[in-house]
Amino acid sequence: MKEKILELARQFYPRVVELRREIHADPELSLEENKTSALVAKTLESLGVKVGTGIAKTGVIGLLEGSHEGKCAGIRADMDALPILELTGLPFASKNPGVMHACGHDAHTAMALGAAMILSELKSELHGSVKFLFQPSEEKAPGGALTMIEEGALKKPDVAVMFGLHVEAHTPAGMVGFRPGALFASADEIYITITGRGGHGAMPHLGIDSIVVASHVVIALQTIVSRRIDPFEQCVVTIGKFTGGTATNIIPREVSLAGTMRTMNQALREKVYKNIDDIVRGVTRAMDAEYELRIVKGYPALINDEDVSAFAATAAKDLLGKDSIYTAQTFMGAEDYAYFLQNVPGTFFRLGVCEPKQKTVAGIHDARFMLDERAMLNGTATLAYLAASYLNRHS
């Protein structure tokens, strides 16, 4: 089956590129992926795949049934774009001003469709079924994964294992990376309001300067990572927004702070929640101010199953050769694929998309982000091979 999958990947590669460019040229924001969903559904139906639409509003599910009984493997791809004005100059650049596929979801969707093309040709040899989950709204919390799960995407038939991938901008094109355990971080939003007592800038002793208090809070929060967390643990606390004041000679009554926190495990996540509250409460109390703290929980840490990740790395090495496999590094970005892994054992792997001769590379979420489309050949083949190999081994 390995040689057949590689040959079919080469055969369908031009169509995968064509699909990726069509999606790239007409990007859609989270929960607005109507044209993308329609294209996905039409492509799956042409392959004889059973299709369900309107999942989590704009999601699509395709079920490919093999000729032999067995388990069900899931392949997930996200479909949404970002609110970014594209600056790549590509001939198939976004025709929708201010919207761009700057995170590779166009390629993720095209590769999953390519895997469906390959496996539909091999269903006579397939033990079990493959469920393709085309997910909306990965970029916008609470994300589409959780809603798809709540609407039964992992049931009828029950998904036994999950596979998914994400492009990696700084790794050579076609390299495939695996990592058991934590790969992506949890992501939570921090909102703090500091309330003091306003007054004239020339008479600060009569007020409680919310800007000074908030500044001390920002500095003190940095001690969470530098002094309260084990140096071998991974954590980020960033205040990215500081809003307050109206004039040079007015001490404002109120200042607002907003930021993000990232951790790689739930225990540390809970500890940082408490650390933030302790620090904000302590600083404001010491400076006679008041505060309101709100933490909006986002995606959990993405934890790859140890056994499935080991299986996938071995299978990919068998398919592509050891020189195409690398150990993926942990990434403090977040991914709602984590919700799938909380429900089903699986793995999420990285696909290098950097053109080897490039001296400078624009990363994901950059208006200049481009990917080497040749990488999609390996990505498509790997998705198909992992699903087929797992099913036929566990039938």
Rounded to whole angstroms, the Cα distance separating 80 from 74 reads: 19
Active-site annotation holds for 138: yes
User: What tokens appear for 304 in the block?
Assistant: 């790859």
- Do the strands 290-297 and 186-195 form a parallel or antiparallel pair, or are they unpaired? antiparallel
Give the whole-angstrom CA distance, residue 295 versus residue 5.
Answer: 47
Pairwise CA distance, residues 296 & 50, whole Å: 38
* Choice among 26, 28, 65, 138 that is catalytic: 138
- State residue 179 phi and psi, 5-degree precision: -155, 120
Could you write out the DSSP letters of every residue in 270-326? HHHHHHHHHHHHHHHHHTT-EEEEEEEE-PPPEEE-HHHHHHHHHHHHHHH-GGGEE
The amino acid occupying position 219 is: I
The DSSP secondary structure of 26-78, one letter per residue, reads S---TT--HHHHHHHHHHHHHTT-EEEEEETTTEEEEEEE-SEEEEEEEEEEE
- Asked if 24 and 94 touch (Cβ cutoff 8 Å), the reply is yes
Spatial separation of the C-alpha atoms in residues 181 and 268, rounded to whole Å: 15
Among 33, 65, 80, 254, the active-site one is 80
List C-alpha distances in Å: 152 to 158, 163, 178.
9, 18, 28
Full DSSP string of 326-371: EEPPPBSS--THHHHHHHS-EEEEEEEEE-TT-SS---TTSTT---
Alpha-carbon distance 244 to 256, whole Å?
Answer: 6
Task: Report the 10 Å Cβ neighbour count for 332.
Answer: 16
Catalytic residues: 80, 138
